[in-house]
Amino acid sequence: MSEQRKSYEDRLGDGLESVLSNGADGLESIAGGLNEISVSGPKGEKWDEVLLAAELKRLGAEPDDR
């Protein structure tokens, strides 16, 4: 599957796997790592700690809670 055809969640998951495996260990370093590898936020924006925390909470919510 090409990068453009992957879903947002797949791109984010792959990005998280990459930055975490490279030693990112907090919201700031994870957000920075995602920005460095050009994995953008849900609306195409750059990541920061607040956006990352909110998005992880949203994605981790039960389907009925979204």
Question: What is the residue-wise DSSP string for 30-47?
Answer: HHHHHHHTT---TTSPPP
Q: What is the pLDDT along the chain (66 residues), one digit of tens a residue?
A: 455 578 999 999 999 999 999 999 999 999 999 999 999 999 999 999 999 999 999 999 877 665
Instruction: Count Cβ atoms within 10 A of the Cβ of residue 12 and give its class: 0-12 exposed, 13-18 middle, 19 or more buried.
Output: buried
Both structure tokens of 34:
């995602």
pLDDT value of residue 63: 75
Report which secondary-structure segment, H or E, holds 60.
helix 49-60
Task: Quote the CA–CA distance of 21 and 17 in Å, as a whole number.
Answer: 6
pTM: 0.84
**Taking the domains of the chain in order of start, what are their residue ranges?**
3-65
